[in-house]
Structure 1
């Protein structure tokens, strides 16, 4: 998945660039669940025959993994850009990563929601690969939290649990966000950053 916006700005989001089949699969998986969705239903949603679907993707498992891989690749470059924008300050890098993770799960709500609801549907070795990609992303946040603890900016006594709680909070945004809500995505992201700083017991030096 790549942003349709011209500039590679981690704070700017366009529409997910998924092909017609994967877009239809995302809708079907969100509405029906992976196991209840059928290739025939996905084909109908994108205007192809069942045989036509198989010219693009080998089956539902390949579609699911293709969506999740696209999501993780998008998160990967945005996380790297967010860290770079934070310079040498682990606190700012932490805040930027939380903001990027939250905004990604808001703006790409349907594709990212599948990562939480349908990870159990991944077969090996896809499941192990996806878990590794997700862990690598969380490790970047963990390193900055650990460094901020060493520098005396974060005072949590449980940095590993704190990072898990923060990451889970960001991921869950895709489950409850509504465009009809009172807060904009940016306001929600800022609130998430504020709560994340509370979780790690931030105290300015």
Structure 2
């Protein structure tokens, strides 16, 4: 996976990071490059310029690093989405748009953390995996709620609301797997496109609203 450097640990000035954050950044870079099982504590220590005992002073194990990375990412995603929902002005459609946009932008800005969270979920200990799944369920419930509210208000027409909600979350999360900042579209454009796609799911494919809402198709559909 190509490393990208906006948002999250990789988007911050390394000099501003605490010692723990520098270790987490090094672990993230190593996990992305070699996978969790292909990474050693020694390679993480070398990446951040520490001795192995120096690293162990901050984190007890490689597993603890993975758990912290995934926990922090999910906590930030939840906080970002809940904040967007709380700040949304207007009715159910505006709240729906707010959470979709927040989710997509997060995955544009922090694809490395998303990649590790999805690819290494199986590497977590059972308690950590259970905790992560509970956080994912909480994020899903936010989407379930805004879709339900749109249906109750008569704005959405999808006959299977929970399946539609899951499909939207899956679609928006997948942005992290292909988005590249060197591609033809900015995060703002990706957010607008996926917001419209999500609306189409819940409003019965009202593609004709795209131009009315200011969405302009682009020649390429992925930042590859």
Does the alignment reach a TM-score above 0.5? yes
Distance 2:164 2:124 in 1: 27
Distance 2:76 2:186 in 1: 21
1:112-158 deviation digits (Å, cap 9, x = unpaired): 22111111111110000000011101101111101111111111111
1:84 is aligned to 86
Distance 1:198 1:118 in 2: 32
2:171 is aligned to 169
Contact 2:92 2:153 in 1 (8 A): no
Q: Calculate the TM-score normalised by the size of structure 2.
A: 0.81
* Runs of at least 5 residues in structure 1 that lack an aligned partner in the other structure: 1-12
* Runs of at least 5 residues in structure 2 that lack an aligned partner in the other structure: 1-6, 210-224
Q: Segments of 4+ in structure 1 off by > 6 A?
A: none
Distance 2:190 2:60 in 1: 38
Contact 1:25 1:42 in 2 (8 A): yes
* 1:160 aligns to 2:193 (yes or no): no
2:187 is aligned to 185
Q: For residue 88 of structure 1, report the CA deviation from its aligned partner.
A: 5.1
Matches for 1:36-115 after TM superposition, within 5 Å: 36-87=38-89, 89-115=91-117
143, 146, 152: which is aligned to 2:145? Answer: 143
Rg comparison, structure with higher value: 2
1:74-98 deviation digits (Å, cap 9, x = unpaired): 1122112211122451211111111
Aligned residues: 193
Distance 2:135 2:184 in 1: 33
Q: Calculate the TM-score normalised by the size of structure 1.
A: 0.88
Question: Cα RMSD (Å) of the superposition?
Answer: 1.9
Contact 1:43 1:50 in 2 (8 A): yes
2:214 is aligned to none
Contact 1:39 1:60 in 2 (8 A): yes
